[in-house]
Chain A
Amino acid sequence: MTIRLASEFGAVLLGRTSAEGLRTRVERAARAGNQHVVLDFEGVITVSPSFADELFAKLDPAVRRSGHLEVRGMSDALASLARFVEAGRPSFGA
């Protein structure tokens, strides 16, 4: 399953609520039958901190470690933000 974020959410990804729905979808898909999930950031200009926190920092660590989630087309800046918010929730990454 490939989720093209810019197509679904627009070029600027905003809001904790929409990110929460997306994370739930990703986790369900990755858990169900070990489906490979691709998050495609192509066309995304930037992401709000709350969206990044909800999507990356709260992501089920088991899903993250499973190898079933692939992130494509994410800029260095957004990768830096993702690391920053993940570091703020060490318990989630444990």
Chain B
Amino acid sequence: MARSTSPDIRIELSGAFVLQQRRFERLIRLLQPLFDLESEARVEVDMSRLVAVGPTALALLTAALRRAADRDLLLEGSVLEPPRTPHVRNYLMRMNLLRTLTDEILDEPIQRHEEHGFRPCEMFSDDSDYWKVSKAFADALAESCSTDQTARAAVLVCLSEVSENVVQHAEADHGFGAAQGWGKSQRFEIGIVDLGRGVRASLTANPTYADIQDDATAIATALDARVTSTPERNSGVGLYLTRMLLAANGGSLLVRSGYGAVYSGSSDEVRSEPDFMPGTLVALRARTDRPLDMDAVYRRLDDDHPMPDSHDD
């Protein structure tokens, strides 16, 4: 297709994209041309002034680029301009941003070592691989943050629940995940992103929730216990229990989908945003200097959800 008949898209990703809501909003806004891309275009993504990128942002960027590549929408001459800062450029290479986008063998100016304390951005598609991705990330966090067996198990449970949601509800080609631990600051962040149908479209497929009119309400509802689009198959407790786990830990959970965002952490926020996020972004952040214990959450269930009288008969 001739260049003159196609839209030219230039996206400049500068500064830092880390887990603060407004930073994600900026990234979502900047990536809109890629989300909206329906026809072939010469796309230039300029990351030369990028100074920091967190795992959730990386998963989102990878998902957007991969979708355009999968649909053969990137015309010859499309460019991914690497960061000027060597450590950011090397980080993106180690996290496989480029490798996720191409089957070609890349000439990378970095020495690859055995993965320890991190895992590259991973793509998953179905029941056969989402749990492998969950396990890889849980292992990485155990390595980088010296988490104990209980915390590693909790991370594994949360990740498997969130990524299983992508496979079973999103109707997306792929899910993308990335994880990073910071041993010194005793924190870790995991991002799981898909560009599927989003929370509201999924949830309103269940007639019980068919009248939900906005994305923020849909997300807030989906975070409640026993809310699911497919009650015959799913129980709708995975995200609810993940939120409880992170709240007990002092961490946070962000779910961004459509025009809605729900942040659950030191304060809870349900808000509508101006820019559209196709699919769903889930960011989990936890502290490794405090317990991360799934069983402690389970033990509270009897008190938080007492059995109806009929069960005592």
Contact B295 A87 (CB under 8 A): no
B79 CB–A CB distance under 8 Å:
no
A48 and B161 in contact (CB under 8 A), knowing A15-B127, A84-B305, A88-B237?
yes
B238 nearest CB neighbor, chain A only: A49
Contact B154 A85 (CB under 8 A): no
When each residue 1-18 of chain A gets 1 if its CB lies under 8 Å from chain B and 0 otherwise, what string results?
000000000011011110
Interface residues of A in 54-94 (CB under 8 A from B): 57, 75-78, 80-81, 83-85, 87-89
* Interface SS majority for chain B: helix
A50 and B164 in contact (CB under 8 A), knowing A12-B153, A84-B237, A85-B237?
yes
B91 CB–A CB distance under 8 Å:
no
A27 CB–B CB distance under 8 Å:
no
**Distance between B226 CB and nearest chain A CB, rounded to angstroms:** 5
Residues of B within 8 A of A57 (CB): 235
Interface residues of A in 38-52 (CB under 8 A from B): 45-50
Total contacts A-B at CB 8 Å: 87
B150 CB–A CB distance under 8 Å:
yes
How many of chain B's residues touch chain A, expressed as a range?
Answer: 20 to 34
Residues of A within 8 A of B150 (CB): 45-46
From B234, B241, B294, B311, contact of A87 by CB (8 A):
B311
Residues of A within 8 A of B283 (CB): none
Contact A81 B149 (CB under 8 A): no
Residue positions of A touching B, CB distance < 8 A: 11-12, 14-17, 45-50, 53, 57, 75-78, 80-81, 83-85, 87-89
29 residue pairs from A and B, CB less than 8 Å apart: A11-B149, A12-B156, A14-B131, A14-B134, A14-B156, A15-B127, A15-B131, A16-B233, A16-B234, A46-B150, A46-B157, A46-B295, A46-B298, A48-B160, A49-B161, A49-B237, A49-B238, A50-B164, A53-B234, A53-B237, A77-B295, A81-B301, A83-B307, A84-B305, A87-B307, A87-B311, A88-B225, A88-B235, A89-B235
Question: Known pairs A48-B156, A50-B238, A88-B226. 8 more at Cβ < 8 A?
Answer: A46-B295, A48-B161, A49-B235, A50-B161, A77-B296, A84-B237, A84-B302, A87-B307
